[in-house]
Structure 1
Amino acid sequence: MVSPLSAWPWENFGVLKYLLYGPLVAKVLYSREWEDPLSGCWSLHILIICALRGLIHQLWYSYSNMLFLTRNRLLCAKGVDFKQIDKEWDWDNFLILQALIASTACYNFPSLATLPLWNSKGCIVALVFHIGVSEPLYYWIHRLFHSDYLFTNYHSLHHSSAVPQSFTASHATLLEHLVLCVVIGIPILGTTMLGFGSATFIYCYLLTFDFLRCLGHSNVEVVPHWIFESLSFLKYLIYTPTYHSLHHKEMDTNFCLFMPLYDALGNTLNKESWALQKDMSSGKNGRVPDFVFLAHVVDITSSLHAPFVLRSFSSTPFATRFFLLGMWPFAFLVMLVMWASSKTFLVSFYSLRGRLHQTWSVPRFGFQYFLPFASDGINNQIEQAILRADKSGVKVISLAALNKNEALNGGGTLFVKKHPNLRVRVVHGNTLTAAVILNEIPKDVTEVFLTGATSKLGRAIALYLCRQKVRVLERFDTIQKEAPKEYQSFLVQVTKYQAAQNCKAWIVGKWITPREQSWAPPGTHFHQFVVPSIFAFRRDCTYGELAAMKLPDDVEGIGTCEYSMGRGVVHACHAGGVIHSLQGWTHHEVGAIDVDRIDLVWRAALKHGLKPV
């Protein structure tokens, strides 16, 4: 049975909960058209404040998850997983609650809606109320919520988040937020009733309150320790992310709202607070990953799928959404900054079998890989990433689709030849990609049509299938010479797509147009390893996704979908690097695919718990 006031009244509304803002919007519109616009001014202020408070939470989240800036000052070196993201999905419930309470107060007390713009004395009075009433009240109630009954039925939800985030600050039960409304409301109401209230003061107080709450839950130490060494009394007046993180680890300490003074007075101050804060603020707490996946951005719109942009969006498979159009100009400006920086940056990380795996990204977009004059610049960035990984002690670095383009760098061969003494193993992951595609083909298939046979993947697939006595229809005769003599007859050269009009298994490694697809007979399945994917033109045919594998169930801290893949699913070239790392293989996997290793790599992937999609 659910405890009273633990669930939200609109818990089952989904996105329809935002209709609760409807009366405020209606009041603003109605006042502008049929009344004095000032009569609906308070409704507009409430909506603006809610938007700004939500923006503060989002900006703090974005900053703390820009790992290329914060990785060495993370307090909890774990990734936020899908379970936590789903649990905190409705973190903004408190904004709706406080908007409803504020609108009710303004309706019943019209004087609140006619406050002056500014009153300089209000800030001093509010500070007195906050320090003298709100801080000790919150401290006392917070300790009370850690008693057995209240913690089990109410406060444990907040502490269930493994990695503190700005959204975690607002992830709590209805009862807790009702209490927080009282804590926030005392300085506002007290100052207003004494005649010192103002609209600017309310804005400043609420936004500062949320800013400090998000600061404490940011999981990144941003306060330099020298401030406390210079002015030691400040350590009792303002808390730090490290200070609050200790409360989530040792829940019988550090209960304060923002001022450690009350923990000192209540004898609940964690003695490690300042020593740990000094250590975390040094910026020397980064951990060297065992494995790095070097990705790239597909296009400007998909760049908004980065985990530090919108958590709700990046935790689901990428798809073009309407709201992305409004963010496109901002993404374009960021793109220009990325090009100017010309440095790879850390995007995300997760842990597998106690090993840290990171995803770095080259600041280049998909279309740039097809510009001849851009190839040297792209290769330089990939090379610098490999050398950086080698210097740091990374064991394996795997190259994403276009980063290992044959025409660009020979599938990574360029870097291995240029730097023969690399300790980091460079992996293109195409051996596992080939294995995934081959294992998707039904065992009873006796004939396939293959496009892109001259690519690394196409060549390996053709040679593997012919050894299995499967007829491979393909356009070039060069591969036939590589096959053993007894299997060369299974490689059949064809020059036109019409030759495959009776073949229901097409393996697409080169982009084909709808016109070319039309030659496939009804019921054909298009297996593909082409980037970008071909259009699903035929309704009487089926289309496979890009080769991918699901990571093992014991993976920890993964909360971002890799482009259009599902949760926990990664491209096969990414998975190939993972297997290379887990197996401890010491060879580079670059250039042509060793056909004899395809089955070996596939068995290793299954052994380590990776699953075909």
Structure 2
Amino acid sequence: MVAPLSSWPWENLGILKYMLYAPFLGRLLFAKVQEDSINWCLHVLILCALRGLVYQCWASYSTMLFLTRNRRILQRGVDFKQIDREWDWDNFIILQALMASLAFYAFPSIINLPAWDTRGFIAILILHMGVSEPLYYWIHRCFHGHRPLFTHYHSLHHSSAVPHPFTAGNATPLEHLLLAAVTGVPMAGSCLIGYGSTSMIYGYVLIFDFLRCLGHSNVEIVPHRMFEIFPFLKYILYTSTYHSLHHTDMGTNYCLFMPLYDALGNTLNTKSWELQKKISIDSGKNGRVPDFVFLAHVVDLSSALHVPFLFRSFASLPFCTRIFLVPLWPLAFVVMLGMWAKSKTFLISFYNLRGRLHQTWAVPRFGFQYFLPFAREGINKHIEEAILRADRLGVKVISLAALNKNEALNGGGTLFVNKHPNLNVRVVHGNTLTAAVILNELHSNVKEVFLTGATSKLGRAIALYLCRRRVRVLMLTLSAERFQKIQKEAPPEFQKYLVQVTKYQGAQHCKAWIVGKWITPREQSWAPPGAHFHQFVVPPILAFRRDCTYGDLAAMKLPEDVEGLGSCEYTMGRRIVHACHAGGVIHSLEGWTHHEVGAIDVDRIDLVWNAALKHGLKPASGVVRQTQHPR
């Protein structure tokens, strides 16, 4: 049987729970029609919006790893399980809005509070320190001291391994009802003695939320020198480190915001300020060096809003354009202009795999900029700076995302390797695993394929690999010279399996299309019914034909033991990354010491594929089979 007040009554409503604000809006509109004075519903709605904004701003800041990576207390990422568990973190705002409406109906005189009364701020501070703090401390200890209370109620809050601003709101209805009482005592007391004001209520509630977010942010921002200059502040104001210790050592640090009551109750963790000082001092130093870096890039304005530090829940799902993003496009455009003018590569996410730290850095350039001739030099400069920075830090492998390794841009990374022959970091384009994923999607009985983008790095490797398997490859290219160059790379006995075609009509009887160059719906119409489009083209082609099937971009699913991964890679599902990303991961896990740039070594395709399977990676398509080179 479910314990009373351990679950939310609207937990099955999903996004429809926000309809609970509808009565407030209706009452506000009714008051406007009746030409009444400012309605109390307006204050409730404004306060709810401001509270949500406080939590969102703190959530964004704590996830901006390029600002906070050296100030993080727990060096772990928030994973998908925690994000899902905290999905409805804002339930308490709805609850307290409903409670506020009851308070206004019970005490209508609150509506007529003055805008400002200095005495109210002094009164509410005294009541908070003298009543709310010890009351919360006692309630909190009860939840930890009585096993049934902890099991049925407080364990939900502590199920979040890494504190996050949204973790502050992730609790049961009973806990939030008691927390509302804790916050309500100072406000009610100040109003009852005649010192209440509207600004006092706004200020107290928002400062209360601000400090709760501070404690759960997992980022230490309070300088240790402040406590050295004013030692008494140690007992007046807690820090993120102080509260994080409560999550790792639950028998200590129960206070709300004032460690004084932990000191009086003998529950103070003696490591609190020592650890806080260490983190504060180390904030100017580089933290743990990642073993592997994936150098990504922004695709377009919409996908730029998919970064984890904007909307955590949105980033934890595969990207798709949503209506709520439209108002943010102008902001994204302004940020794009700022990035274009002056910017540096920045860290956006990280995860741990087999004890090794993997990070994703982003080049501050949008997809269309890669195709502007005058932008190439600047883009290559950013990529080069990222590679050299990784080399200085001691990173072992850096993998280049799709457009960052464009052949016309830098020859698939060869530009940087040739320019800096003494690099210790290995530069990897990851296309070997991309080719392996595409090849292993083909059915074993395929005898003929049609290949567009046939003379690209991937097209060449796929053609040479398939011809060795005696698969006839129809290579679409207008250049006889480039075709013959690739054909001569094949062993003499397999060269006959490579066939040049110059028109899409030449593939009208071929049901296996491998698309490496964007094709229009008109060009797709030449495929016979039942054809399947495998693809390695960015962006993916439009699914125009209803009588054909379309494959996704080459991708691999990371092993189950990956830790701290809480965002999806563009349109990929959870724990699924592009094959070029996975190729860099395998390069790092295997400890290979060569650069993987330029042309793909066909003889290494099976080697890389089997290494990926050995380390627990799986193709996103679900097809898993060991392969051996035909020779």
Q: Does the 8 A contact of 1:452 with 1:508 survive in 2? A: yes
The one of 545, 552, 563 aligned to 1:538: 545
Measure the CA separation in 1 of the matches of 2:255 and 2:289: 35
- The aligned residue for residue 122 of structure 2 is 124
Q: How does 1:28-427 map to 2 (within 5 A)?
A: 28-38=28-38, 41-147=39-145, 148-282=147-281, 283=283, 284=285, 286-427=287-428
- 2:165 maps to a residue whose letter is S
Q: Tell me which amino acid in the other structure corresponds to 2:84.
A: D
Aligned equivalents of 1:104 and 1:191: distance in 2?
18
Equivalent residue in structure 2 for 1:600, among 607, 614, 621: 607
Distance (whole Å) between structure 2 residues aligned to residue 313 and residue 238 of structure 1: 34
SS in 2 for 1:146: helix
Cα offset for 1:133? 0.2
Displacement of 1:361 in angstroms is 0.3
Paired residue type of 1:512: I
Moved more, 479-488 or 129-138: 479-488
Report the Cα offset of residue 58 of structure 1.
0.6
- Describe how 1:487-526 pairs up with structure 2 within 5 A: 487-526=494-533
- Give the distance between the partners of 1:569 and 1:589, measured in 2 at CA: 22
Distance 2:546 2:383 in 1: 40
Secondary structure in 2 matching 1:347 = strand
**Alpha-carbon shift at residue 301 of structure 1 (Å):** 1.0
2:580 and 2:463 map into 1 onto residues whose CA distance is 19
Helix, strand or coil at the partner of 2:357: strand
Gaps of 5+ in 2: 478-482, 621-631
User: Superposed, which structure 2 residues align to 1:545-584 within 5 Å?
Assistant: 545-584=552-591
Deviation at 1:341, TM superposition (A): 3.3
Q: Is the 8 A contact 1:166 1:214 kept in 2?
A: yes
SS at match of 1:161: coil
Name the stretch that deviates more: 342-351 or 28-37. 28-37
Q: Which residue identity does 1:212 align to in structure 2?
A: L
The question of whether the paired residues in 2 share the 8 Å contact of 1:449 and 1:505 is answered with yes
Q: Please give the alpha-carbon distance, in whole angstroms, between the structure 2 residues aligned to 1:490 and 1:37.
A: 83
CA distance in 2, matches of 1:406, 1:335: 24
Q: Which amino acid aligns with 2:26?
A: A
Cα separation, 2, equivalents of 1:337 and 1:91:
33
Q: Give 1:269 shift.
A: 1.0
Specify the SS of the correspondent of 2:69: helix
For the structure 1 residues 113 and 22, does the alpha-carbon distance in structure 2 shift closer, same or farther, using more than 3 Å as the test? same
Deviation at 1:105, TM superposition (A): 1.1
Q: Report SS of the residue matched to 2:365.
A: strand
Query: What SS does the aligned partner of 2:122 have?
Result: helix
1:587 maps to amino acid: H
- Please list every run of 5 or more consecutive structure 1 residues that lacks an aligned counterpart in the other structure: none
1:458 correspondence with 2:459 = yes
Deviations 1:28-75 (A, max 9, x none): 01111135143xx11011011011101111100100110000000100
Cα drift, residue 338 of structure 1? 2.4
1:7 aligns to 2:7 (yes or no): yes
Aligned-residue CA RMSD in angstroms?
0.9
- Could you tell me how far apart the structure 1 residues matched to 2:288 and 2:436 are? 33
Question: Who is 2:480 aligned against?
Answer: none
Supply the AA of the counterpart residue of 1:3. Answer: A
Greater mean deviation of Cα atoms: 422-431 or 261-270: 261-270
The offset of 1:527, in angstroms, is 0.5
Cα distance in 1 between the residues matched to 2:275 and 2:333: 40
TM-score, normalised to structure 2's length? 0.96
Letter in 1 for 2:375: A
Say which of 594, 597, 614 aligns to 1:590: 597
Q: Distance in 1 between matches of 2:338 and 2:237?
A: 35
- Distance across 2 between alignment mates of 1:35 and 1:374: 58
8 Å Cα contact 2:450-2:476 kept in structure 1 = no
SS in 1 for 2:223: coil
Give SS of 1:24's match.
helix
1:73 is paired with a residue whose SS is coil
* Paired-residue identity, %: 74
- 2:337 and 2:179 map into 1 onto residues whose CA distance is 42
CA offsets 1:374-419 (integer angstroms, 9 cap, x no match): 1111111101100100110100000000000001011000111111
SS at match of 1:44: helix
Matched, 1:480 2:481: no
Of stretches 193-202 and 28-37 in structure 1, the one that deviates more from structure 2 is: 28-37
Match of 2:626 in 1: none
Contact map agreement 1:473 1:500 (CA 8 A) in 2? yes
Aligned to 1:19: 19
CA contact (8 A) 1:316 1:566 kept: yes
1:326-352: per-residue Cα shift (whole Å, max 9, x none)? Answer: 111111222223233331000000000
C-alpha displacement of 1:108: 2.3
8 A Cα contact 1:73 1:285, kept in partner: no
Whole-angstrom CA distance in 1 between matches of 2:207 and 2:3: 32
Comparing 482-491 and 574-583, the one that deviates more: 482-491
The question of whether the paired residues in 1 share the 8 Å contact of 2:476 and 2:504 is answered with no
CA distance in 1, matches of 2:607, 2:133: 63
State the 1:475 CA deviation.
2.6
CA distance in 2, matches of 1:157, 1:560: 22
Helix, strand or coil for the counterpart of 2:323?
A: coil
Supply the distance in 1 between the matched residues of 2:291 and 2:142 (Cα, whole angstroms). 44
Secondary structure of 1:544's counterpart equals: strand
**In the alignment, which residue of structure 1 is the partner of 2:536?**
529
CA contact (8 A) 1:74 1:285 kept: no
Distance of 2:260 and 2:342 partners within structure 1: 43
* Contact kept in structure 2, 1:5 and 1:173, CA below 8 Å: yes
Task: Please give the alpha-carbon distance, in whole angstroms, between the structure 1 residues aligned to 2:476 and 2:94.
Answer: 62
Distance 2:2 2:342 in 1: 52
Quick check: 2:253–2:267 contact (8 Å CA) kept in 1?
Answer: yes
Distance 1:425 1:172 in 2: 46
Give 1:285 shift: 6.1
In structure 2, how many angstroms separate the alpha carbons of the residues matched to 1:439 and 1:562?
Answer: 22
CA distance in 1, matches of 2:148, 2:154: 9
Q: For 2:577 and 2:491, locate their aligned partners in 1 and report how far apart those are by CA, in whole Å.
A: 34
Alignment partners' CA distance in 2, 1:394 and 1:285:
13
Report the secondary structure of 2:362's partner residue.
strand
The CA distance in 1 between the partners of 2:335 and 2:286, in whole Å, is 28
Give distance in 2, aligned partners of 1:475 and 1:206: 66
For residues 513 and 482 of structure 1, the distance between their equivalents in structure 2, rounded to whole angstroms, comes to 31
